């Protein structure tokens, strides 16, 4: 295993790379599946994966991958998404043209496109990848929406900043590692463990009245602060679900240990995905 390599999806300059830089040496992969595979086979130290965005919501595929691979969440980090309009040197945003970016980035900049009818959005696979394509193409009528770092890496002019409709555009990332290698991890920036979170996933008997209420009551009755719940459909049977839950505290805290034991008495499956602090 490469000791300091941190897998991420995308090209250099992607927001995921910004997250990876906080933990070690970024190593790009084309897909989230490949990044998870690299962690599972210990080709990398860890990986950073986006799990939710404050505007776009959850990245559902990554929730599914957390359950499908033998990985554990060991940290989380938050990256402010600051979209810039990038063009080749000499390009002007007043000209007619197309703007490439990831579909989520394009959807976060609707007001920009409404005020620039001369520019048409065009879907691409990645924000930083869009910047790379624009730089390689050399066409002054082709632009990209990506990070400032992407513009600097690919030699593009920053024609406009702060394109997102809302200022509070933040992506939450999980840092994952192989579940057998979570002890004594050392990162470039160590997680703040003063207020840890735990993430779990569980399943319940289908069509049992009040089962989800009883599951959440195992936390509520112990004053455990629930911060997120996400349901994902099971791939094995129609209309059955996995429930992903985040709450404040560590899995080894006696109160949480008892809550998980109680939940396990009636849930058909309970898996702890990790207890972790935040990396700034």
Q: Which listed residue (29, 36, 112, 171) is catalytic? A: 171
For residue 14, count other CB atoms closer than 10 A to its CB: 25
pLDDT at 2 over 70: no
Alpha helices per DSSP H over the chain: 15-21, 32-40, 60-68, 103-107, 110-115, 127-137, 148-153, 211-220, 254-263
Share of the chain above pLDDT 90, in %: 84
Distance in angstroms (rounded) separating the CA atoms of residues 37 and 186: 21
Report d(CA 73, CA 270) in Å as an integer.
15
Q: What are phi and psi of 265, to 5 degrees?
A: -75, -25
Mean pLDDT of 183-210: 87
Residue 175 has pLDDT above 60, yes or no: yes
Adjacent-strand bridge partners of 73: 176
Per residue in 240-268, pLDDT tens?
899 999 999 999 999 999 999 999 999 99
Confidence of residue 180 (pLDDT cuts 50, 70, 90): confident
> Average of pLDDT values for 95-102?
96
Among the listed residues 74, 56, 77, the one whose alpha carbon sits nearest the alpha carbon of residue 199: 74
In the chain, domain spans = 1-81+169-187, 84-160, 191-280
Structure tokens at 94: 């007043």
Q: What are phi and psi of 192, to 5 degrees?
A: -80, 115
Residue 189: pLDDT band (50, 70, 90) is: confident
* 171 catalytic residue (yes or no): yes
For the chain, the farthest-separated pair of C-alpha atoms sits apart, in whole angstroms, at 66
- Confirm if 32 and 43 have CB atoms less than 8 A apart: no
User: Residues 32, 36, 143, 173: which is the catalytic one?
Assistant: 173
SS3 58: strand
- Checking if the pLDDT of 1 tops 50, the result is no
- For the chain, the average pLDDT equals 93
CATH topology identical between 1-81+169-187 and 84-160 = yes
Q: What is the mean pLDDT of residues 93-117?
A: 94
12 confidence band (pLDDT: 50, 70, 90) = very high
Active site residue 127: no
Share of the chain above pLDDT 70, in %: 98
- Asked if the 191-280 domain carries CATH number 3.30.930.10, the reply is no
- Report residue 184's pLDDT band, with 50, 70 and 90 as the boundaries: low
H helix count then E strand count, the chain? 9, 15
CATH class of 1-81+169-187: alpha beta
In a 3-state reduction of DSSP, which class is residue 137? helix
Domain 84-160 architecture = 3-Layer(aba) Sandwich (3.40)
């Amino acid at each position: 295993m490469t000791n300091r390599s941190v897998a991420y999806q995308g090209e250099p300059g992607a927001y995921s790379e910004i997250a990876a830089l906080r933990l070690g040496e970024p190593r790009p992969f084309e897909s989230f599946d490949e990044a998870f595979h690299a962690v599972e086979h210990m080709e990398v130290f860890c990986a950073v994966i986006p799990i939710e965005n404050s505007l776009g919501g959850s990245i559902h595929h990554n929730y599914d991958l957390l359950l499908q691979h033998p990985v554990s969440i060991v940290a989380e980090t938050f990256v402010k998404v600051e979209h810039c309009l990038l063009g080749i040197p000499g390009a002007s945003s007043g000209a007619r043209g197309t703007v490439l970016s990831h579909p989520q980035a394009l959807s976060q900049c609707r007001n920009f496109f409404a005020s620039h009818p001369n520019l048409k959005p065009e879907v691409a696979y990645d924000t930083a990848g869009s910047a790379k394509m624009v730089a390689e193409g050399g066409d002054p009528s082709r632009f990209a929406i990506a990070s400032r770092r992407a513009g600097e890496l690919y030699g593009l002019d920053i024609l406009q900043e702060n394109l997102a409709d809302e200022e509070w555009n933040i992506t939450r990332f999980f840092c994952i590692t192989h579940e057998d290698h979570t002890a004594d991890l050392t990162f470039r920036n160590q997680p703040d463990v003063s207020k840890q979170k735990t993430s779990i996933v569980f399943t319940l008997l289908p069509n049992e009245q009040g089962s989800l209420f009883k599951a959440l009551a195992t936390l509520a009755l112990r004053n455990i602060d629930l911060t997120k719940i996400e349901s994902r459909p099971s791939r094995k049977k129609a209309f059955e679900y996995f429930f992903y839950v985040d709450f404040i505290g560590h899995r080894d805290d006696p109160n949480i240990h008892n809550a998980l034991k109680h939940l396990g008495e009636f849930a058909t499956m309970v898996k702890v995905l990790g207890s972790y602090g935040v990396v700034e």
